[in-house]
Chain A
Amino acid sequence: MSTSAHSPRQGSHCGRILVIAVHAFTQLARMKVFYFLAIFAVLAIVSNFLDWSQLAGPEAVGVNVLRTIKSTSFGAMHLFSVVLSVVATALLLPKDAEDRTLYTILAKPVPRIDYLVGKLAGVLLLVFVSLVLMDVLMTVVLQIRTMMVAAEQETMAAAMGYTPEAIASLRADTLANGSSWALQGAVFAVFLRASIMASLALLVSTFSSSTLFTTMVSFVVYFIGHFQADARDFYLQAGQAGQGGLERAITLLVALVLPDFQLFNVIDAVIEGQALPVRMLGQLTLLGLFYAVVFTLASWFIFSDKEF
């Protein structure tokens, strides 16, 4: 062992955050969380066989299948991303404290904000990688099926005497229901929603000592978040009508503290084949960043004074 020729080393904040993030990602990956991708693959393939079309015209042939593939895939992405972000975040902090590994980390020259941001970044990296893998799988399945549907429609339309212009128009409509940039934007919106949930779970886990409590509270807040817009409207209307009191205070709190998860309903429109305006995606990104930063700063505020 070399003697301690003293030379204090200072790692950068970014370096430490990266080390903790990569470690959290590795820790979760070694818990075999990627196994759910097999379930997703099965869902994406099974959704190919779900065609509830009852119309005889070529416009309806196969289009519902494309929507089912998108709807099933986005449903699975939504579920996996939110569950993963909440449960993984809720698991990491209490586990470190329980195993006393937190002591050894904080006994190193590691600021507590670096630890928190690193853990959050590790979870988000895991969610991001998972969503990218699911997106690739969905896009491949959708692309193949779109080509098959377009060819089938073309054959049927030609047999029914459609004009070449009508056939081209029909093909364009079908391709619009296939893979598109709007779909990629919608996947990013799913990631943003998961980011808000992960940072929310991080905040809860700083004052909770149990994974179960963190998970339950996070999901309750997630549920209430879907009524944020209603709470905001109630607050404004109640103010105009001169009503006051407790209801206004509660709705104001809900409207201010919780994100409006209804804004993410644009994903449903994308599944229906509509475009996702860049402006809307930009707004969602800003919303996601705002809440992720606010919740993380609040976590730091609590965690910086926490005793172990």
Chain B
Amino acid sequence: MIGPPMAETVPAVEIRNLVKDFKTSFRRQPLRAVDGVSIRIEPGEVYGLIGPNGSGKSTTMKALLGLVAPTAGACAIFGKDSLKVDSRDDVGFLPENPYFYKHLSGAETLRFYGKLCGLGGRCLQERVDELLALVDLEAARDRRLGGYSKGMLQRIGLAQALIQEPRLVILDEPTAGVDPVGSRQIRDLIFKLRERGITVFLCSHLLEQVQEVCDQVGIIFQGRMIREGRLDDLIAIEDQTEIVLRDASPGLISQITALVENTPGTTLVRTGKPRTTLERLFLREIRAEER
């Protein structure tokens, strides 16, 4: 007899053959937003779903959260059907460009979401303090959200997503419209979540950031998953090898080049200096100016 699966074997996210059609007003043929997508995310992983606008990323996330009903297929969070309310016990969600209630302060917003999750009293207050510290908004805790910048709104959004200590966090374009400094802060928060074993499912246009934080990546295009796997496997160029040297003399470079040219079946593809990214350059210069 096969017993129930152990807790560790239950995936954080399991999307099986998801299909989602939307009715359109102008033509009889429904619009297929998601077409047979399957995703499995193990607990503790950071999964990035990338794709162009209108490729079905947000619809997939909404189906996972029960905000839209699948036309076919099924979604589950830690083994619980997404269409059931109890599947949301263990999930936090940050939608794309959230506004929240402008009349509430940062602390009031977190208290509101905490109470919705059944938190209260000292436990809730401690949690609010902890999260405001985590997202670096302690100084703005009593300021109304109407006065928050875009980056601050994203961070308070991330804090509300974490209010009930979920094991899964779903982030839809978490850095959309945020400046590089705010974007970096959110990226660092995702690292912190990973360190704490929280599963993260995010979609983003910023491929470089996805590359930095994700363990697994899926590429979705016109509603279909066209490539999926471990990031390192997907981006590695199998037939090439990279050697990065520091303070190498021109003589040493010449010797290495000669050695490679004298080795049959091996081709020197390129030599030169590695480059930093524009984002790193920008952040370095900003920090230098601040000092």
Contacts and interface: CB of A to CB of B under 8 A. Distances in A.
Q: Do A and B come from one complex?
A: yes
Interface of A: 1-12, 15-16, 19-20, 23, 26-27, 30-31, 99-101, 103-111, 305, 307-308
15 contacts: A3-B196, A4-B198, A8-B89, A9-B89, A9-B117, A19-B112, A31-B103, A100-B96, A103-B62, A105-B113, A105-B116, A107-B170, A109-B85, A110-B88, A307-B62
A11 B117 contact: yes
B225 interface: no
B84 to A, nearest CB: 10
A16 B69 CA distance: 24
A2 B116 contact: no
B282 interface: no
Interface of B: 62, 65-69, 85-86, 88-101, 103, 112-113, 115-119, 130-131, 134, 157, 160-162, 164-167, 170, 192, 196-198
B118 A100 contact: no
B119 A104 contact: no
A205 B165 CA distance: 33
Contacts, number: 115
Contacts of B170: 107
Interface-centre pick from A15, A20, A23, A26 (highest chain B CB count, 10 A)? A23
B160 to A, nearest CB: 6
Given A6-B167, A109-B89, A110-B85, A27 B103 contact: yes
B103 A1 contact: no
Contacts of B94: 104
B103 A15 contact: no
Contacts of B90: 6, 8
Given A1-B134, A2-B165, A101 B98 contact: yes
Nearest to A103: B95
Contacts of B98: 99-101, 103-104
A114 B116 CA distance: 10
Given A9-B164, A104-B93, A104-B157, A109 B86 contact: yes
Contacts of A110: 85, 88, 116
Nearest to B133: A1
A104 B164 contact: no
A100 B116 contact: no
A302 to B, nearest CB: 14
B67 A107 contact: yes
B67 A307 contact: yes
Nearest to A105: B116
Contact of A104 (B68, B95, B131): B95
Given A15-B115, A104-B98, 19 more contacts: A4-B166, A4-B196, A5-B165, A9-B118, A12-B118, A16-B115, A26-B103, A31-B103, A99-B101, A100-B96, A100-B99, A104-B93, A104-B94, A104-B157, A108-B116, A109-B86, A109-B117, A307-B69, A308-B62
Nearest to A109: B88
A1 B86 contact: no
Contacts of A103: 62, 65, 67, 93, 95, 98
